[in-house]
Amino acid sequence: MLLNLDASLQAQSMLVTAPLLKTPGRPLHIISLPFSPIIGLNMSAHAEKRVAERITRSRGRVLLVMDEQQPDLVRMLRSKGIEVVGVSTGTAAIVSLQRSRPHLVVANPFATGLSVNELAKMLEQSDTGIPLVLAGTIPSTRENRMKALSEGAFDYFELPGESDLLVKRCEQLIALRQKIDRLRADADLDSLTGLANRRRFRVSLVREVERWRRYGVPCALLQLDIDHLKHINDHFGHPAGDHVIRQVAQTLSEVSRDNDTAARLGGEEFALLLASIDVEKAGAAAERLREVICRRPVEGVGHITVSIGVAGCPTSGTSERTLYAASDEALYVAKNGGRNRIAIAPPLQEKLPGVES
Nearer to ligand GH3, 101 or 335 (CB): 335
Residue 294 found at the interface with ligand GH3 (CB under 6 A):
no
Q: Which one of ligand GH3, Mg ion, none is in contact with 287 (Cβ closer than 5 to 8 A by kind)?
A: none
Total of residues contacting ligand GH3 (CB under 6 A): 17
DSSP assigned state of 6: G
* Burial status of residue 22 (CB atoms within 10 A of its CB: 0-12, 13-18, 19 or more): middle
Regarding 242 and contact with ligand GH3 (CB under 6 A), the answer is yes
Round the CA-based radius of gyration of the chain to a whole number and report it.
25
Minimum CB distance to ligand GH3, residue 239 (Å): 7
In this structure, are residues 322 and 330 in contact, taking their beta carbons and an 8 Å threshold? no
Q: What are phi and psi of 26, to 5 degrees?
A: -130, 140
Among 22, 228, 295, 351, binds ligand GH3 (CB under 6 A): 228
Segment near ligand GH3 (CB under 6 A); pick from 15-23, 181-189, 225-233, 279-287: 225-233
Q: Any idea what the Cα angle at residue 204 is, between residues 182 and 46, rounded to 5°?
A: 70
- By CB under 6 A, is residue 238 in contact with ligand GH3? yes
Looking at the DSSP bridge assignments, the partners of residue 133 are: 106
Site for ligand GH3 in 156-195 (CB under 6 A): 192
Q: Is 260 among the residues that bind ligand GH3 (CB under 6 A)?
A: no
The enclosing H or E element of 142 equals helix 142-150
Does 235 bind ligand GH3 (CB under 6 A)? Our answer is no
CB 4 within 8 A of CB 38: yes
Judged by CB, which is closer to Mg ion: 227, or 254?
227
Shorter beta-carbon distance to ligand GH3: residue 120 or 304: 304
Nearest Cα to 225, choosing from 303, 342, 345? Answer: 342
Contact with Mg ion (CB under 5 A) among 190, 208, 225, 291: 225
Residues 71, 77: Cα–Cα separation, whole Å: 10
Sign of the alpha-carbon dihedral angle for 221, 282, 333, 193: negative
Q: Which stretch binds ligand GH3 (CB under 6 A): 99-107, 174-182, 228-236, 345-353?
A: 228-236
Say whether residue 268 binds ligand GH3 (CB under 6 A).
Answer: yes
268 counts as binding Mg ion under rule CB under 5 A? yes
Query: Total residues at the site for Mg ion (CB under 5 A)?
Result: 5
**Rounded-to-integer distance, Cα 79 and Cα 268, Å:** 48
Measured from the CB atom, the residue of 67 and 269 that comes closer to Mg ion is: 269
Shortest Å distance, C-beta 254 to ligand GH3: 20
22 or 335: CB nearest ligand GH3: 335
Cβ neighbours of residue 90 under 8 Å, at least 6 residues apart? 65, 107, 111, 112, 113, 114, 115, 119
Residue 331, CA distances (Å) to 148, 225, 281, 319 in order: 56, 8, 17, 18
Q: Give catalytic residue positions.
A: 268
- Binding region for ligand GH3 (CB under 6 A) out of 10-18, 73-81, 220-228, 280-288: 220-228
Among 161, 14, 140, which residue's Cα sits nearest to residue 153?
140
Report the site for ligand GH3 in 306-345 (rule: CB under 6 A): 335, 339
Contacts with ligand GH3 by CB under 6 A lie at: 192, 225-231, 233, 238, 241-242, 245, 267-268, 335, 339
Contacts with Mg ion by CB under 5 A lie at: 225-226, 229, 268-269
